[in-house]
Amino acid sequence: MKTVPSQQILKTSLRAEVRLKRAGIAEKQRTRLDKAINEYLLNHAEQARPIVIAAYSAFDGEPDLAPALMQLEEQGTKVALPVIMDEPGRSAIAFRQWTRNSELKINRYGISEPSGTPEVLMTEIDLALIPLVAWDESGARLGMGASFYDRLFQPFGGLPRPARIGVAYQVQKIDRVPMDPWDIRLHGVLSESGWFTFPG
């Protein structure tokens, strides 16, 4: 399925607009916001005690979760990061385990990913921390446009686990994210304002 042209134009426009806003966050402010996000993540993990967390390597101005991920990994939580998998017809992503000693390589998008570590299956993941460009209060998520995460979570769309939590700054929140039928909604969002769970 393909996005209808009018929807695609709107998504592209919103993507550019919100990425510009995110890029405009001053360095000192970004440091403060990232610190708050990491603290909220650690507080949530202390209460929920997820055994396996899937996250991401920060890219293009995304909130940097590295401090919290290092602490969680040190405490015994299994952490996984996405890797690009070249499959016939279309690339996809999967998760591989990450530790502070993992060898990292740069993929074709310029994002660091673990190399040579075991794959972490979707059914193992308790909490998935998902990067995004924009979000709204209905749980709609606008990504970078490759549909990697929508395709990855399609079989789990109606399930509570893995918990799909978008990670973003409040400046990335918009009134309404345009959705296609195959777009997967989030269970919640983690931002500098805290942990927000969507109704339903």
Query: What pLDDT digit, counting tens, does each position of 51-66 carry?
Result: 999 999 999 999 999 9
| pLDDT of 200 higher than 90 | no
- 């949530």: which residue's tokens? 44
E runs forming strands in the chain: 52-54, 78-85, 92-98, 104-106, 112-114, 119-120, 127-131, 134-135, 141-142, 163-167, 188-191, 194-197
Bridge partner residues of 119 (DSSP): 96
Q: Which CATH superfamily is domain 5-197 in?
A: NagB/RpiA/CoA transferase-like (3.40.50.10420)
Q: What is the pLDDT of residue 126?
A: 97
The DSSP secondary-structure symbol of 31 reads H
What digits encode the pLDDT tens for the residues 108-145?
888 999 998 999 999 999 999 999 999 999 999 999 98
List the structure tokens of 41: 């993540």
**Cα separation values, 50 from 72, 73, 123, Å:** 10, 11, 13
| pTM of the shown model | 0.93
Q: What is the chain's mean pLDDT, rounded?
A: 93
What digits encode the pLDDT tens for the residues 58-91?
999 999 999 999 999 999 999 999 999 877 667 8
Higher pLDDT, 45 or 146: 45
Domain ranges of the chain: 5-197
